[in-house]
Amino acid sequence: MSIPHLEILAIAVVTAAGCSLVGVFLMLRRMAMLSDAISHAILPGIVVAFFFTHDLASPWLMIAAVLTGLLTVVLVETLTRTRRLKEDAAMGLIFPALFSLGIVLITRYAGDIHLDVDAVLLGELAFAPFDRFVVGGADLGPRHLWVMGGVTLLNLLAVTVFFKELKLATFDAGLAASLGLAPAAIHYGLMALVSVTAVGAFDAVGLILVVALMVGPAAAAYLLTDRLGLLLVLAALLGAVAAGLGFALALWLDASIAGGIAVGVGLVFLVVFLVAPGRGFVAVVLRRRRQRWDFAQVMLAIHLIQHEGGPDEDDESRVEHLHGKHVGWTPAFTARVVGGAEKRGLVELDAGRLRLTDPGREAAGRALSGTGS
Amino acid sequence: MSTETPAVRVTDLTVAYGELPVLWDIDMDVPAGKLMAIMGPNGAGKTTLIKAILGLVPPAAGRVEIHGGLYRDQRHLVGYVPQRGSVDWDFPTTVLDVVMMGRYGALGWFKRPGKRERDQALTALDKVGMADFRARQISQLSGGQQQRVFLARALVQDAQVYFMDEPFQGVDARTELAIVDLLKELRTLGRTVIVVHHDLQTVRDYFDWITLLNVRRIAGGPVDEVFTSENLKLAYGGRVEFLQRQAPCDPPPDAPDLGSYPGRIRP
Amino acid sequence: MSWLGELFTDYTLRTVALGSASLGLVAGALGAFAVLRRQSLLGDAVSHAALPGIVLAFMLTGAKTPLVLVLGAALAGWTASLLVMLIVRTTRIKLDTALGLVLSTFFGLGLLLMSIVQRSAGAGQAGLDRFLFGQAAALVGDDLKTMAALGALVLIVLVMMWKEFKLLSFDPAFAGALGLPVRFIDIVLTTLLVVAIVIGLQTVGVVLMSAMIVAPAAAARQWTDRLGRLVILSGVFGAASGLTGAVLSSLVPRLPTGPTIILVVTTITVVSLFIAPRRGLLTERLRRGRQRRRVRADSVLADLYRLAAQHADPAQAPHAAEALQTMSAQAGVREGLKQLTEQGLVESDPDGLWRLTDAGLARGAELIGGVS
């Protein structure tokens, strides 16, 4: 792998890690689509700032973009509060409008701006190694690596310093407020971080990858752990893996690197979605299948207990009753359930009648009292 | 038990949401012409029971009969009043329009409601005292008025058996009384009404039949026999102190004892 | 049919106008349901996700036949919405995250495939770019026919299943209790939405098509409280903005079609949000102001009446505005007096003292009588 390739990979990995960190909180606060909204909506801010500075590397672009990002969030919230539109419609109205404005400005004044529409969507990762960060004649590496390194460091710092506050505001905003933690400040602080990350990353990798990297790794990590700290670490790691995988894919196909990394994110999620222990698709299907039998056996025990001592006990405890018209099981299913329940010692078969054993009685009692079967 | 076919017969109904069972092996017979309350603590599965009967939640096992036939064949005999909070009252439609929705099932595919449906809806609105509001946008109704509109929509279904999910939730006292009058009128006409209810104090005044529920069926039958401290203790578990102060009625000597196995009552 | 094709190819602008108006009409009408069912962001996911479908359809068939590309787009959009549902149902991941995930990875796949096509296919692929931000000027008769046919189909199904869609959107549980096949109706409505989105992709582009679903309906909702009128009005707004935006972008150089259409439709929505009767934010503020002024004038009149009532001949007793100010907790006594003068309820004499007219006396009696 050549030096430029390594540099591209480094930019992608650092960007992925930085996006994942804020993405986790967006996901937990059920605001994942804000990554889409903010990353699109900052465009006019960038363009207008560029008109004044004529410098894509100017910090003013970053400031303008962050302000536009916050403005988007405030606009959506204000519009929702007027109760004229629901939140999803307010969001779906505002960010395409701002993005359209940005695109029109870029296209109209294409001669003055070295931004083109493809770059907005896709970024220019392939050219990133040519954009050097030079201080006093010394080449310190690709500029994007410094920008995204800074942004990622900022996110890491914010998440570490305000870990407790973010955690509380995310899981219990009411309690956070009563403890004087100002959930609103935390909310807008997080939105500012998302905007900073989006504008930094957007310049390097294009806005679609901003969305993919904020949402995908966080979602995958969420299927692997319950602990917030671990969730953040895993999301950053999975993001980095996806970036590497996607970059390799793009090199192999000689195709768009940003597109490749987005697909890499999708693949990483897909694998986790399928095989994650406990919460993955395969695990869920297997567990549901197993539970179906457990569940049916407990149901049998409860059925017997409900009719125990009643006038219809004799009738209700016949095996045929179970696959009769009442319970609605098939004979094969019934035979398997009864067999299983017998093996587990929940019931005893006595002259065609099922009788509950003490363990069966306890299992039924546990299930009914809600402590699980 | 009466030999007459019950209006509703539920046998061995078990329901699970995803991986969590919420109703275990429910047996319930409701004779025709009764006004029945379904009661139990929060999370007892009251709404789930109604939804499972109506086929809105797939049961894991069990069977539902309405007037002697399978539910899916007898659906036209059933009317439904969902919880008021389950819909968006900002939806762009009018009172009359919502009430006419009660006829959509009988209309069949591709047919539009016409004058007949309109007249039926107006009659029903008149019955609940909402005729003057027919052209009103539904967001401009009070809670009680919204509930009356939902009742009118059930009335145009012209059903034999009505299922109502918390019709008294958040309505004014006047509406509550009007609804009770209406329910009693339906009973007079021989209809069966099954209501998810919360208020222990009004049970004796409003209903003549009751089912107590807490994940399983605790007890069921005439209010006079079943609405006892004993049974309430079984249904509501730890909140029994509070409930005893409400003193429903003295336990009759033959109150059914269903709580003799371990693990049932948690403090 | 050839005369029809000729008519349209000969008049490029007419093609553009008709095409973009019809896509706006269909998107607006279906969008009304999407917005009411809070599926605004599903539209965003479906339209982004359509891109890989378009490129794959092109790669597999090597053709740019509109129907083939639209089919590819629809299949991909459909798959995306199914995946979103699958993820939400089987895991703990919430809808917003699932939407963002599917949207970005599908779109990324589309971009990846597109870069491959661009490298390998040479000149033949140039047309695919326009699916990003739309290009009305590239619409030809074939496109128009496809759009019109699919759009008509969507609208016909919408009319036929009107009451089912209405009930599903308002109260799906009740629909289920009536025995309507809710799942099936839901699938049909979602399919219509997907088709409405994909027929607009060529003109508006995958990136912005979601706004064509949301904005017209959001605008129309401010003007009416009836579903029928909402859907029609939403369709009209969609058609008007599609037409205006597309024609503008065809006439003005370097004005991309999709963004222009979106800016037009957003303008309509913002104007509606402010000035629509009853629901408009500005309208409401004006109404509140009027109400407040009336209440204030009434209270000034009542004060004046109370003062006058202490005299034997009420109408003849003039009072200084300052006296009224001491009685009134509210500001704006002079403002109130000015209004009352305009209504002919009070009059002032040359000394600047105020007295009630006969009409004012009557109104005062009414107000005070109402209080006591």
| Smallest CA–CA distance from A225 into chain C, residue | C92
* pLDDT for the residue numbered C355: 82
Q: Do A91 and C40 touch (CB under 8 A)?
A: yes
Provide the 3-class DSSP secondary structure of residue A341: helix
All residues of chain C having their beta carbon less than 8 Å from the beta carbon of residue A248 are none
Map out the domains of chain C as residue ranges: 7-277, 283-371
pLDDT in tens, C142-164: 888 999 999 999 999 999 999 99
In this predicted structure, the answer to whether residue B253 has a pLDDT above a threshold of 80 is no
Two tokens at C76? 């991909």
Please enumerate in sequence order all residues whose Cβ is within 8 A of that of C300, keeping only pairs 6 or more positions apart, or say none: C324, C328, C333, C336, C337, C340
Q: Do B86 and C171 touch (CB under 8 A)?
A: yes
All residues of chain C having their beta carbon less than 8 Å from the beta carbon of residue A250 are 112
The CATH code for residues C7-277 is 1.10.3470.10
In this predicted structure, the answer to whether residue B265 has a pLDDT above a threshold of 60 is no
CB B54 within 8 A of CB B78: yes
Provide the 3-class DSSP secondary structure of residue C79: helix
* pLDDT for the residue numbered C3: 40
All residues of chain B having their beta carbon less than 8 Å from the beta carbon of residue A299 are 14, 21, 24-25, 60-61
Residue that is written with structure tokens 């004499």 in the block: C349
Q: Do B16 and A295 touch (CB under 8 A)?
A: yes
Q: Do C112 and A255 touch (CB under 8 A)?
A: yes
Provide the 3-class DSSP secondary structure of residue B40: coil
Query: With bands split at pLDDT 50, 70 and 90, how would you rate the model's confidence at C166?
Result: very high
What's the CATH fold of domain B8-87+159-246?
Rossmann fold (3.40.50)
pLDDT in tens, C18-72: 899 999 999 999 999 999 999 999 999 999 999 999 999 998 888 778 889 899 9
All residues of chain A having their beta carbon less than 8 Å from the beta carbon of residue B12 are 303, 326-328
CB B113 within 8 A of CB C167: no
All residues of chain A having their beta carbon less than 8 Å from the beta carbon of residue B24 are 299, 302, 367-368
Specify the CATH number for A282-368; select among 3.30.450.20, 1.10.580.10, 1.10.10.10, 1.10.20.10: 1.10.10.10
Q: Do A291 and B19 touch (CB under 8 A)?
A: yes
Report the length, in residues, of chain C.
372
Q: How far does B177 lie from chain C, in Å, by closest CA?
A: 25
Please enumerate in sequence order all residues whose Cβ is within 8 A of that of A45, keeping only pairs 6 or more positions apart, or say none: A61, A64, A65, A66, A67, A68, A69
All residues of chain B having their beta carbon less than 8 Å from the beta carbon of residue C188 are none
* pLDDT for the residue numbered B3: 57
B116 touches chain A (CB under 8 A): no
What's the CATH fold of domain C283-371?
Arc Repressor Mutant, subunit A (1.10.10)
Query: With bands split at pLDDT 50, 70 and 90, how would you rate the model's confidence at B263?
Result: very low
Report the length, in residues, of chain A.
373
In this predicted structure, the answer to whether residue B252 has a pLDDT above a threshold of 50 is no
Choose the mutation target among A83, A86, A103 for the interface with C, i.e. most C CBs under 10 Å.
A103
pLDDT in tens, B206-228: 999 999 998 888 889 999 988 98
| Smallest CA–CA distance from B215 into chain A, residue | A368
C225 touches chain A (CB under 8 A): no
All residues of chain A having their beta carbon less than 8 Å from the beta carbon of residue C47 are none
- Residue pairs between chains A and B whose CB atoms are closer than 8 Å: 68
From residue C32, alpha-carbon distances to A80, C25, C239 in Å are 17, 11, 14
All residues of chain B having their beta carbon less than 8 Å from the beta carbon of residue C179 are 72, 75-76, 105
Span B23-28, average pLDDT: 89
Q: Which of C39, C105, C259 sits opposite A262 (nearest CB)?
A: C105
C277 touches chain A (CB under 8 A): no
Q: Do C36 and B75 touch (CB under 8 A)?
A: no
* pLDDT for the residue numbered B264: 32
* pLDDT for the residue numbered C9: 52
Q: Where in chain A is the domain with CATH 1.10.10.10?
A: 282-368
CB B235 within 8 A of CB B41: yes
pLDDT in tens, B134-159: 999 999 999 999 999 999 999 999 99
Q: Do A93 and C266 touch (CB under 8 A)?
A: yes
* pLDDT for the residue numbered C270: 95
d(CA B29, CA B14): 16
pLDDT tens sequence for chain A (373 residues): 688 889 999 999 999 999 999 999 999 999 999 999 999 999 999 889 888 888 777 888 889 989 999 999 999 999 999 989 999 999 999 999 999 999 898 888 866 666 676 777 777 777 777 778 777 777 888 888 888 999 999 999 999 998 988 888 888 777 877 777 778 888 899 999 999 999 888 877 888 899 999 999 999 999 999 899 999 999 999 999 999 999 999 999 998 899 999 999 999 999 999 999 988 889 988 888 888 888 888 888 888 887 777 777 777 778 777 776 667 778 888 888 888 888 888 888 877 788 888 888 888 888 777 543 3
Q: Do A92 and C43 touch (CB under 8 A)?
A: yes
Amino acid residing at C30: L
Two tokens at B21? 């069972």
Interface of B with C (CB under 8 A): 51, 54-56, 72, 75-76, 78, 80, 82, 86-88, 91-94, 97-98, 101, 104-105, 107, 109-110, 112-113, 137, 139, 153, 157, 163
Q: Do C170 and B93 touch (CB under 8 A)?
A: yes
B73 touches chain A (CB under 8 A): no
d(CA C104, CA C311): 80
pLDDT in tens, A208-239: 899 999 999 999 999 999 899 999 999 999 99
From residue B27, alpha-carbon distances to A303, A311, B161, C305 in Å are 10, 14, 18, 73
Q: Which of A306, A364, A370 sits opposite B27 (nearest CB)?
A: A306
- The mean predicted confidence, pLDDT, of chain B is 85
* pLDDT for the residue numbered A308: 78
pLDDT in tens, C308-354: 777 767 666 777 777 777 776 566 788 888 888 888 888 888 777 88
* pLDDT for the residue numbered C256: 87
What's the CATH fold of domain A3-276?
ABC transporter involved in vitamin B12 uptake, BtuC (1.10.3470)
* pLDDT for the residue numbered B239: 55
d(CA C336, CA C334): 5
In this predicted structure, the answer to whether residue C2 has a pLDDT above a threshold of 50 is no
Choose the mutation target among B14, B23, B25 for the interface with A, i.e. most A CBs under 10 Å.
B25
Span B46-71, average pLDDT: 90
Map out the domains of chain B as residue ranges: 8-87+159-246
| Smallest CA–CA distance from C212 into chain A, residue | A93
All residues of chain B having their beta carbon less than 8 Å from the beta carbon of residue C174 are 80, 82, 101, 153
All residues of chain B having their beta carbon less than 8 Å from the beta carbon of residue A83 are 90
* Portion 83-142 of A in contact with B at CB < 8 A: 83
Instruction: Give me the DSSP letters along A61-123.
Output: HHHHHHHHHHHHHHHHHHHHHTTSS-HHHHHHHHHHHHHHHHHHHHHHTTTT-S--HHHHHH-
Give the range among A68-77, B115-124, C283-292 with minimum mean pLDDT: C283-292
Span C169-190, average pLDDT: 94
Q: Bigger pLDDT: B20 or B231? A: B231
In this predicted structure, the answer to whether residue B255 has a pLDDT above a threshold of 50 is no
Q: Do A265 and C108 touch (CB under 8 A)?
A: yes
In this predicted structure, the answer to whether residue B247 has a pLDDT above a threshold of 80 is no
* Start-end of H helices in chain B: 46-53, 95-100, 104-107, 115-127, 143-155, 173-188, 203-206, 223-226, 229-236, 240-246
In this predicted structure, the answer to whether residue B243 has a pLDDT above a threshold of 50 is no
Interface confidence (ipTM) of the complex: 0.89
Q: How far does B124 lie from chain C, in Å, by closest CA?
A: 18
Choose the mutation target among A15, A43, A263, A289 for the interface with C, i.e. most C CBs under 10 Å.
A263
A180 touches chain B (CB under 8 A): no
Please enumerate in sequence order all residues whose Cβ is within 8 A of that of C306, keeping only pairs 6 or more positions apart, or say none: C327, C368
Q: How far does A91 lie from chain C, in Å, by closest CA?
A: 8
- Residue pairs between chains A and C whose CB atoms are closer than 8 Å: 204
Interface of C with B (CB under 8 A): 36, 160-164, 166-167, 169-171, 173-180, 221, 224-227, 230
Q: Bigger pLDDT: A340 or C370? A: A340
* pLDDT for the residue numbered A195: 92
A325 touches chain B (CB under 8 A): yes
